[in-house]
Structure 1
């Protein structure tokens, strides 16, 4: 569900403009078509400048793939599947940069086990590619300037034409006005609003702070139709045909979907928090002892029903008492379709306040391990994967759900990734193609069994 569906033009008045956020949200845009048609110039396969969940990973060079250890589960030793590939270039950096998150599909055995989910950063410092990026940015700036000048000239022509059609008789027109065909009745310059602006300044848009786009690239005027994540991440860059990237090892895969980003907005409060619906389970007087049931706390944004599971009252009470889980639910309900959150240098949205992962982000400065490859540096929060992604990755349909699938599927609440502040890559990590893959810190907040 796109944010354009969630906020139609008729619902814009429901957005609370007093609440501001620096967070970018990722939403599912369209499925990835795995079949490649060599005769199709508009391939549906992703490119490096796309961001997507599931499907097969796209490496930064066909001959440069990560060490097998990065895509192998530390618990069962099996190859893991791609959960997220996010194109994440940094401002002022002229190289390709991609974040990868992998997870083990052997969830029955490896769920909640260390090393069953990993994240790493891919960097390409190929000189030819850097020169290409620079050229594309220069061309984009020139193209945007030309379009702006054409628009300004068109406005001037229309104003002149309007003046000629509706001007009064020259004999009765004040001579000072007649001498200036562009003069207005107030003597103001009708072009002041356009000429006073810097034609080189980028247009303001909700994606000005988008780390997935190049800093130097100007923003086009927004179109009524929604923009895909790829269009935002590579604005003004010519689209290249996607090509399959065959790995030297086979990887399992989830269903794939392209993503697009939008600025986080909030709806005006009109109802009680969603967790209110659980309170009657705590307050009700149970007259008979029900059979013990077990299950998992699923995505608070999902419509997947867990009917048939009788949760333990005490554990549900603990859930409601966790202010961080309540904040997570109340925040996500404003944009229930989100599958990722991006906020470089910001703060993650914690799924729970009680586990070891939460302790690393609470109580002042973050206590995330420093990068071993750059010990003098620090790590900062960058991106997190949201539970709605589970629904899309596992391709769960509301009318096809069964309890066994829910219990045997992925059971994480959120996956938090922190990266090196300096974006450092050891020189000896770069291969002959100037490509490197560096493992970063990945914190998983798992669902609590109830």
Structure 2
């Protein structure tokens, strides 16, 4: 299997023995980053502290107990939604009794829409309000947002039309910490492991939004958003912190564009050997556990998943708005939603993005628009979040522990929200969880 056969997009030649993709990787960091909003674990904070999400969103659909925050992400996308403030959240139930059950992991999107009058006099006034040094700085090429937020290395791809919170490009739109580009990466010839050396962020206008993890990614222009529907019914209050279990440790997020090593000759992982007819027969005779082991060995998606992550094993998340997720398996219910678009991407070395097309994610229940992939959590996030949490009691005969292979977030392509200018609206988004396969160990 060629190590470049994967579901991510935009891979291109780079200096030395490495290749860079459009996927922005997130790393857990103890050091404070330029993005004070995005983080792994800890307690959630709200875009508008006076308007927390409805309390029902805090509860696991299985046990009805409050869940813990896995990820909070500043998802501002100036090129896609220039007048929207948007934050993303993924919550998970820490109880093992809820593992592998639908509704034990949920996601929210908070969005505040600002109406902008295309009035020339107003635009002139806004320009006058911006200090001249800042205006001069804005005329310069945008620097890599991946480098400004999360300490991501500058992109080697040059200016791009892909506005992503983890990667920004030159544009009159406000910058997003996860979206920017410029000079060649200084880390391209090194194994890309959790770099923390951030370059200073470019000066931003006084009224510009903070750079976010989402702005650092290269994205394609989105279709115009459709009008959003108003939510019905009064919300229940968000539970107090005392109602939640002990939170996962709080980590800041550092970011770096994914780089892949270029071996002289593609090889299969040493643990992946061809399976003979005799082995298949003996597996079938060995019972259900042996059959599961055999089927797992044949799962090419898992081999591709593990091989791809091995290039950057410390990554805790992968971000590419309108991209294609890296599947843990293509045989489960979630994998089948993407398998059609994923199989089309397995070209040699050059990988084209599905750009949200071809997936069968359920449409947005609020506005009816399609949903597109934005971010996914990787298995290393479990290692980071659960470190030191052994023996934390959550109830009689229960214990903490996560057992998923990846958590995939699909969001409304139109970023629907409340129609009122500047009013925060909450939307529950689609989460696809690919649970860890229970492979028999001898």
TM-score class, shorter: 0.5 to 0.7
Map 1:62-77; keep pairs closer than 5 Å. 62-77=49-64
User: What is the aligned partner in structure 1 of residue 314 from structure 2?
Assistant: 337
Structure 2 residue corresponding to 1:201, chosen from 138, 141, 152: 141
Alignment of 1:267-306 (within 5 A): 267-269=261-263, 275-277=269-271, 279=273
Over residues 192-224 of structure 1, what are the superposed CA-to-partner deviations in whole Å (9 max), with x where a residue is unaligned?
A: xxxxxxx53324632965622674448798999
Tell me how far apart the structure 2 counterparts of residues 30 and 446 of structure 1 sit (CA, whole Å): 28
- Equivalent residue in structure 2 for 1:319, among 272, 283, 296: 296
Query: What are the Cα deviations for residues 350-370 of structure 1, in whole angstroms up to 9, with x where unaligned?
Result: 001110101111224211111
Which of 185, 196, 201 in structure 2 is aligned with 1:226?
Answer: 196
Of 336, 359, 364, the residue aligned with 1:371 is 364
Partner of 2:78: 91
Match of 1:9 in 2: none
Structure 2 runs not aligned, ≥5 long: 1-13, 117-121, 145-153, 188-194, 211-236, 280-285, 342-357, 392-398
Q: Within 2, Cα distance between the matches of 1:237 and 1:395?
A: 40
| Structure 1 residues 362 and 283: CA distance shift in structure 2, 3 A | closer
Partner of 2:106: 118
Residues 1:423 and 1:22: Cα distance change in structure 2 (over 3 Å): same
Give the deviation of 1:279 after TM superposition: 4.9
Question: For 1:101, what is the secondary structure of its paired residue?
Answer: strand
- Partner-residue secondary structure (3-state), 1:24: strand
**Structure 1 residues 317, 339: closer, same or farther in 2, change over 3 A?**
same
Q: Does the 8 Å contact 1:15/1:265 carry over to 2?
A: no
* CA apart distance, 1:258: 0.5
State the shift of 1:101 in Å.
Answer: 0.2
Question: Comparing both structures, which one devotes a greater share of its residues to helix?
Answer: 1
1:359 and 2:336 equivalent? Answer: yes
Evaluate the alpha carbon distance shift between residue 348 and residue 139 of structure 1 in structure 2; reply closer, same or farther with a 3 A threshold.
farther
Going from structure 1 to structure 2, the CA distance change for 1:273 and 1:139 (only over 3 Å counts) comes to farther
Change (3 A) 1:270 1:255: farther
Alignment partners' CA distance in 2, 1:336 and 1:72: 31
Partner of 2:47: 60
Evaluate the alpha carbon distance shift between residue 228 and residue 418 of structure 1 in structure 2; reply closer, same or farther with a 3 A threshold.
farther
Q: How far does residue 15 in structure 1 lie from its aligned partner after superposition?
A: 3.6
Greater radius of gyration (CA) = 1
Distance 1:95 1:67 in 2: 20
Structure 1 contact 83–101 (Cα < 8 Å) conserved: yes
Shift of residue 268, structure 1, vs aligned partner: 2.0
Gaps of 5+ in 1: 1-11, 32-43, 149-198, 241-245, 286-291, 293-310, 402-406
Choose the corresponding residue for 1:394, options 355, 379, 386: 386
**What CA RMSD, in Å, does the superposition of the two structures yield over aligned residues?**
4.4
Q: How does the TM-score come out when normalised to structure 1? A: 0.61
Mapped pair 1:105 → 2:100? no
Matches within 5 A, 1:165-180: none
Quickly say closer, same or farther: Cα 1:50–1:408, change in 2 above 3 A.
closer
- Displacement of 1:117 after TM fit? 0.2
- Give the distance between the partners of 1:105 and 1:141, measured in 2 at CA: 51
- The aligned residue for residue 212 of structure 1 is 165
C-alpha distance in 1, partners of 2:277/2:203? Answer: 53
Tell me the equivalent position of 1:256: 250
Contact 1:103 / 1:117 at 8 angstroms: preserved in 2? yes
Q: Is the 1:64–1:433 contact (alpha carbons within 8 Å) kept by the matching residues of 2?
A: no
Contact 2:58 2:239 in 1 (8 A): no
Contact 1:52/1:84 (<8 A) preserved: yes
Q: Are the aligned partners of 1:25 and 1:262 in contact in 2 as well (CA < 8 Å)?
A: yes
Contact 1:273/1:330 (CA < 8 Å) preserved in 2?
no
- Rounded Cα–Cα distance in structure 1 between residues aligned with 2:330 and 2:132: 46
Conserved? CA contact 2:83–2:115, under 8 Å: no
Q: Which residue of 2 aligns with 1:4?
A: none
Q: CA–CA distance in 2 between the matches of 1:390 and 1:14?
A: 33
| 2-structure distance, mates of 1:282, 1:391 | 35
Q: For 2:307, what is the secondary structure of its paired residue? A: helix
Write out per-residue CA displacement over residues 54-92 of structure 1, whole angstroms, 9 at most, x where no aligned residue: 000011111110111111001101000000001111124
Aligned length: 327
